[in-house]
């Protein structure tokens, strides 16, 4: 069987029946360098994650061509466009390259017939509306984590993606980190015995800032469109992002109108690995309990928590904030510790040398996150973390947040995605969305 990595090197392969085949890029977009098998990409959201992480990966791939960017902040969109066009000009030894268009409204970008796929790197409250629009427009969709800000929103997106038959990926790069997938491989193949307990821990978040005074909206920012489905609120720079600065951490990451904070921000990294190792990444736990604390003021997301989950197979998960990020696996015959940075540790170092045997899980062909997305488009296959998996990981974090808010243990039915016999908790599965942003 031809490996995924070899497929990319040779360019061989076919698109599976019923899958959306990549568009042939017109020569006026790429000039003499246009290969007929490239996947055209539109970027929606030009903030720090896009320009530092996502755009460089697409630019490095011979399988893709970024042809458009979109952001409600025209300065940011221009910076991202210049980054892209400078790269292609250097790559083609051309003095100038002007093949990347700029949009302010994402719907205009999605209306283009020559775009095959989109990378959504916006604030979290926009992920589901934009993902739904993209899937209904027939675009393959890669979305930054966390996939949603409400469990029912995430379920809607996962269902629409499946119905429309587009390739999807919820973009946590952790599945592409060798130490992470190697640990999953070892756990799933029984090298620490039967898995019994997991511990995931994520870093602390920023301190509260009070309530800054409203400010004039910058001329380059379409603030009403930035708010979109979120409730109306006066503009202040600390609500949105620093002006004419991309690499600094934006304020919206600490505001519950637009995100759920560190519980899903980092939690969807580490708990995705936990779910993967436990074989429950398309399901979830059956109960959750814990405690925590929230910030006050404009930045009001959770700043402290410790959560305990139980699974139907008897495995338990402890999820804690304010520790160095990492994950631990405890089995009946040993343990593994996987830090975000640093080497994997094991109860017996010989465990780390184990290689998959016949019939065991072998993840050695695991790709980088954008490489994985582009490969799935070309083959008609599935990414390492499709929308369904991203939603399940996010919902695990979200039911933990609900348990903290209610201050009691909650039973969870991963099949119906409801809290049995708890109407108060079930009202927290959704959140209001202003306007009709879920309808193209």
Please tell me the number of Cα atoms within 13 Å of 358 on its side-chain side: 0
pLDDT tens for the chain, residues 1 to 440:
233 333 333 333 223 333 333 333 333 344 434 445 899 999 999 999 999 999 999 999 999 999 999 999 999 999 999 999 999 999 887 678 999 999 999 999 999 999 999 999 999 999 999 999 999 999 999 999 999 999 999 999 999 999 999 999 999 999 999 999 999 999 999 999 999 999 999 999 988 899 999 999 999 999 999 999 999 999 999 999 999 999 999 999 999 999 999 999 999 999 999 999 999 999 999 999 999 999 999 999 999 999 999 999 999 999 999 999 999 999 999 999 999 999 999 999 999 999 999 999 999 999 999 999 999 999 999 999 999 999 999 999 999 999 999 999 999 999 999 999 999 999 999 999 999 898 76
| Block residue for tokens 């369904």 | 388
Residue 440 is predicted with a pLDDT of: 64
Residue 23 is predicted with a pLDDT of: 36
Q: What single string gives the DSSP state of each residue in 368-403? A: PHHHHHHHHHHHT---SS-HHHHHHHHHHHHHHHHH
Q: Given this structure, which CATH class describes domain 4-174?
A: alpha beta
Query: 334-339 and 345-346 as β-strands: parallel, antiparallel, unpaired?
Result: antiparallel
CB atoms within 10 A of CB 142: 30
Q: Edge to edge, what strands does the sheet with 101-103 contain?
A: 101-103, 64-70, 39-44, 117-120, 140-144, 168-171
User: So where are the chain's domains?
Assistant: 4-174
Cβ(404)–Cβ(411) below 8 Å: no
Q: Return all residues near 266 (Cβ < 8 A) that are at least 6 apart.
A: 202, 203, 325
Indicate yes or no: pTM above 0.75.
yes
CB atoms within 10 A of CB 339: 15
The radius of gyration of the chain from alpha carbons, rounded to an integer in Å, stands at 22
Q: What single string gives the DSSP state of each residue in 115-171? A: --EEEE-S-GGGHHHHHHHHHHTT-EEEEESS--SSHHHHHHHHHHHHHHT--EEEE
């Amino acid at each position: 069987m031809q490996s995924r990595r070899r497929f990319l090197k040779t360019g061989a392969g076919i698109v599976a029946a019923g899958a959306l085949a990549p568009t042939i890029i017109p020569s006026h977009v790429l000039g003499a360098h246009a290969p007929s098998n490239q996947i055209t990409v539109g970027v929606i959201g030009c903030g720090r994650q896009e320009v530092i992480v996502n755009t460089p990966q697409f630019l490095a791939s011979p399988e893709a061509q970024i042809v458009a960017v979109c952001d409600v902040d025209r300065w940011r969109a221009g910076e991202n466009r210049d980054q892209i066009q400078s790269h292609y000009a250097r790559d083609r030894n051309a003095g100038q390259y002007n093949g990347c268009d700029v949009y302010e409204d994402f719907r205009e970008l999605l209306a283009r017939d020559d775009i095959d796929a989109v990378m959504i790197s916006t604030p979290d409250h926009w992920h589901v509306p934009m993902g739904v629009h993209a899937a209904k427009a027939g675009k393959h969709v890669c979305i930054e984590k966390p996939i949603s800000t409400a469990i029912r929103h995430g379920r809607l997106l996962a269902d629409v993606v499946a119905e429309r038959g587009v390739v999807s990926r919820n973009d946590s790069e952790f599945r592409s980190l060798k130490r992470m997938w190697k640990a999953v491989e070892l756990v799933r193949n029984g090298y620490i015995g039967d898995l019994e307990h997991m511990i995931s821990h994520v870093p602390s978040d920023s301190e509260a800032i009070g309530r800054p005074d409203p400010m004039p909206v910058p001329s380059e920012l379409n603030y009403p469109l930035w708010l979109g489905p979120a409730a109306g609120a006066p503009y202040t720079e600390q609500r949105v992002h620093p002006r004419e600065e991309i690499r600094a951490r934006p304020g919206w990451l600490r505001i519950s109108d637009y995100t759920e904070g560190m519980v899903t921000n980092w939690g969807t990294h580490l708990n995705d690995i936990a779910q993967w190792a436990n074989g429950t990444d398309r399901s979830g736990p059956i109960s959750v309990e814990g405690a925590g604390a929230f910030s006050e003021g404009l930045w009001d997301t959770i700043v402290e928590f410790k959560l305990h989950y139980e699974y139907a197979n008897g495995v338990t998960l402890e999820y804690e904030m304010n520790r160095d990020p990492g994950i631990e696996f405890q089995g009946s015959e040993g343990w593994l510790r996987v830090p975000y940075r640093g080497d994997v540790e094991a109860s017996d170092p010989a465990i780390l040398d184990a290689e998959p045997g016949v019939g065991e899980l072998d993840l050695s062909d695991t790709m980088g996150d954008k490489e994985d997305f582009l490969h799935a488009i070309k083959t008609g296959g599935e990414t390492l973390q499709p929308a369904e998996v991203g939603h399940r990981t996010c919902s695990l974090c979200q039911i933990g947040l609900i348990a903290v808010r209610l201050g009691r243990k909650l039973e969870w039915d991963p099949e119906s995605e409801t809290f049995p016999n708890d109407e108060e908790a079930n009202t927290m599965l959704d959140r209001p969305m202003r306007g009709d942003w879920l309808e193209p």
